[in-house]
């Protein structure tokens, strides 16, 4: 910064700090995002509020300018990297809620798609809610999901897709599960920005989850139903 005064993040009031973090995320400034995250934590903010109000909202703004051709892939990669810096600080805090064990989830982004921030966030929130989470990463062909189901025996299979070109692959995974006669052994939840409820139904998922919080609530509902079914069997 040359002719402007340097901004001291710790001197900003909360609302201005959050806006500054949106700017810093936009500019891909990882260290600043980490610092801002730590400052808000020190001020008593809940990890979930920092996640949604500072980080996810910042990424929403990045997404708009990416869509409009104002930001390009290299810049958005830096923003994603900065966001991951903040998420790494929040992750253990979200996970240590002491919530009772709920069940197990395998989650991954589908073939052809390398977006992982939303998936990671869902994984973090699920851990915080008491689920064991096995994250199989990005760009997963159906074989990876099948292997993970066999190896980890999850209650829930989660799929993420951020591209209109990759979201149909969810149906490939679900149809393969049907072919193999294992579809009903798992609850299948799907999510990602371009999806909606109708799409979730059309591909044969158990539910579409708008965001990470909805994913947690939906997963808990399905686990409760599963336990009730077992109890009444």
Which residues of this protein are in contact with ligand B1M, per CB under 6 A?
A: 56, 59, 62-63, 66-67, 73, 76-77, 80, 107, 112-119, 121-122, 158-160, 162-164, 189-194, 209, 211-212, 215
| Least distance in angstroms from the C-beta of 218 to ligand B1M | 8
- Cβ distance to ligand B1M smaller for residue 56 or 149: 56
DSSP-assigned beta bridge partners for residue 109: 160
CA dihedral 23, 21, 192, 142 (to 10 degrees): 100
| Nearer Cβ to ligand B1M (40/170) | 170
Angle at 170 between CA 165 and CA 175, to 5 degrees: 130
- Rounded Cα gap, residues 215 and 209, in angstroms: 5
**How far from chain centre, in Å, is Cα 189?**
13
Least Å distance, CB 211 to ligand B1M, is 3
**CB nearer to ligand B1M: pick between 80 and 177:** 80
**How many Å apart are CA 104 and CA 157, to the nearest integer?**
9
Q: Is 58 helix (H, G, I), strand (E, B) or coil?
A: helix
* Nearer CB in complex with ligand B1M: 47/118: 118
**Residue 98 beta carbon to ligand B1M: minimum distance, rounded to whole angstroms:** 23
- Report the distance separating Cα 77 and Cα 138, nearest Å: 15
72 vs 180 by CB, closer to ligand B1M: 72
Shortest separation between residue 26's beta carbon and ligand B1M, angstroms: 11
Smallest distance, ligand B1M to C-beta of residue 17, A = 20
Would strands 131-135 and 156-160 be described as parallel, antiparallel, or unpaired? unpaired
């Amino acid at each position: 910064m040359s002719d402007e005064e340097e901004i001291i993040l710790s001197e900003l009031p909360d609302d201005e700090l959050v806006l500054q973090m949106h700017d810093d995320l936009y500019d891909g400034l990882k260290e600043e995002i980490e610092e801002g995250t730590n400052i808000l934590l020190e001020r008593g903010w809940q990890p979930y509020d920092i996640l949604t109000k500072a980080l996810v909202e910042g990424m929403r703004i990045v997404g708009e300018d990416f869509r409009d051709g104002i930001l390009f892939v290299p810049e958005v990669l830096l923003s994603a990297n900065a966001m991951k810096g903040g998420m790494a600080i929040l992750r253990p805090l979200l996970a240590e809620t002491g919530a009772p064990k709920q069940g197990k989830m395998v989650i991954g982004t589908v073939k052809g798609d390398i977006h992982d921030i939303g998936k990671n966030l869902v994984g973090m929130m699920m851990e915080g809610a008491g689920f064991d989470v096995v994250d199989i990463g990005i760009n997963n062909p159906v074989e990876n999901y099948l292997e993970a189901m066999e190896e980890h025996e999850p209650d829930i299979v989660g799929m993420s897709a951020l591209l209109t070109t990759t979201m149909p692959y969810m149906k490939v995974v679900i149809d393969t599960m049907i072919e193999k006669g294992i579809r009903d052994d798992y609850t299948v939840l799907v999510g990602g920005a371009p999806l909606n409820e109708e799409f979730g139904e059309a591909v044969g998922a158990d539910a579409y989850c708008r965001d990470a919080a909805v994913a947690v609530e939906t997963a808990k509902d399905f686990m409760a139903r599963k336990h009730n079914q077992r109890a009444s069997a």
